[in-house]
Each structure stands twice: as C-alpha cells, then as structure tokens.
Amino acid sequence: MVIPCIDLMEGKVVQLVQGREKALEGAPALEMLERFEPFPEIQVIDLDAAMGKGSNETLVGELARRARCRVGGGVRTAAKAKALRECGAYRVIVGTSAFTKHGVNHALLAEIASAVTPERLVIALDSRGGRIVVKGWTESIDRTAEELVRELEPYCHGFLCTYVDKEGMLQGTDLAWFRRLRAATAYEITAAGGITTIEEIQELGELGIHAALGMAIYTGRLDLVQLAQL
C-alpha cells in the first residue's frame, strides 16, 4: 500500500529535509486530500505539535473527518490520542513519547493503548545513524529499532519506520534496514524516508511493507496516477 503524506506547519502543507529545512510548500491541505482520494489511507502529521510550537488541530480534524487518516504529531498523552480518534483519525501515531532515555515508555504506551486500543495505534520508529531519534529528530537514544520493536508490539497495530538519514533528500532509502525490521517483527510496517522510485516501492511491497511518500510526490518525481495503480 502506498500512503501519501500531508505534513502541516502553520496551516500549510510542507515538506522538510531531515525534519529541519523547509524545502517546499504544497497546495492547500484540502486540495491535497482531494488529489490523494484514490489511496486507501493518508498520513497526516502536525509538525507544529510535534515540535511543541503550536497546533493545526482544526485542520487535522477536518482532514480526518473527510478521509481515512493516520494522524501523528505531539501525541504525548492518552487524552490527546483519544481526542484524535474522536475527531475522526483512523489510527494514531505515537513517536517521541513512546520512549524514555533508556528504552520503551511502557507506562504511557499502556495508557494510550487502553484509551484508543492497540489496533488503532501506530508507533513511530525513526532511525538515524542506526539509532532511534526523538524530539523532532534532535536527540537519539542508544537503542536500535530492531532491538525495541518486539518490546513495543503489545501496544500497537504496527510501526512507521523512517530512515531519517535520507529523509526528504530523494536519494533512495535503505532497503537493507527494512529487511532487518521485517525479520524482527511480523507486525505491519510502513516505510518512510528517501523512497524515490517505483522499484523501491515494489521491493518494499515484496517484503510486505507499505510505503509512506512525501517529497517524491510533491516534487513530481513519482506520478500519483501510477502510484494509485500499484
């Protein structure tokens, strides 16, 4: 499955390079949602909420009511996760708050899973330099995604795994890393970060891994009509 991404900052659809530098702005969010109508699921990330710099709550709610969306960004409490589900989010993505300095934040994940059910929870495993990164990819913990994925399984439906080293750079992703992740868990995996070609998407598909696409779509590198047919 191909999952188009809508990343929101100050009410606008944007694409960032490695989570820092804004590379471009897309069309208005509702227009992008219409373009993505052929796809079964859309990924919506509130970057302002993720960075603790505000919120796009109203817009996120509007998108979630109109399409099947997995929504993330700033989900730090069970109440926030529940609120996203109540506003229409099909699934909720939890990133930074899923971890402590030393590993898994079991207490909080148990609360969130109880609030929204594990079937509606996706945990983000963002990796740079082989280590999990958190807080907008500004800090790392000394554990790998492969090491922690089994420990996270009781709380969620699947994992959003971003190869941060190539995020937004249109230089390809690390298929070897995704093969290791696939070997580590039978749960649903969605790959993100640097995916640039149809061939990469097909290889991921052969592994039973979904592809979340941002920059390759917004720059026109990949064609939406062709992607919808995969």
Q: Measured between alpha carbons, how far is 35 from 66 in angstroms, rounded to an integer? A: 13
Q: What are the two backbone dihedrals, phi and then psi, of residue 214, each rounded to the nearest 5 degrees?
A: -125, -85
Nearest to 199 by CA among 177, 164, 162, 230: 230
Around Cβ 79, how many Cβ atoms within 10 Å?
A: 12
β-pair type (209-213, 158-163): unpaired
**Token couple for 67:** 């399409």
Question: Which residues are CB-neighbours of 83 under 8 A, at least 6 positions away?
Answer: none
> Is the Cβ–Cβ distance between 49 and 55 less than 8 Å?
yes
Catalytic residue among 46, 126, 174, 223: 126
β-pair type (42-46, 69-72): parallel
Number of helices and strands (H, E) in the chain? 10, 12
Catalytic residue among 7, 46, 165, 223: 7
| 126 is a catalytic site residue | yes
Please report, to the nearest 10 degrees, the dihedral formed by the alpha carbons of residues 136, 89, 25, 130 taken in order. 30
Segment holding 188, helix H or strand E: strand 188-192
Instruction: Count the residues in the chain.
Output: 230
Side chain identity, residue 200 = E
Give the residue numbers annotated as catalytic, written as ranges: 7, 126
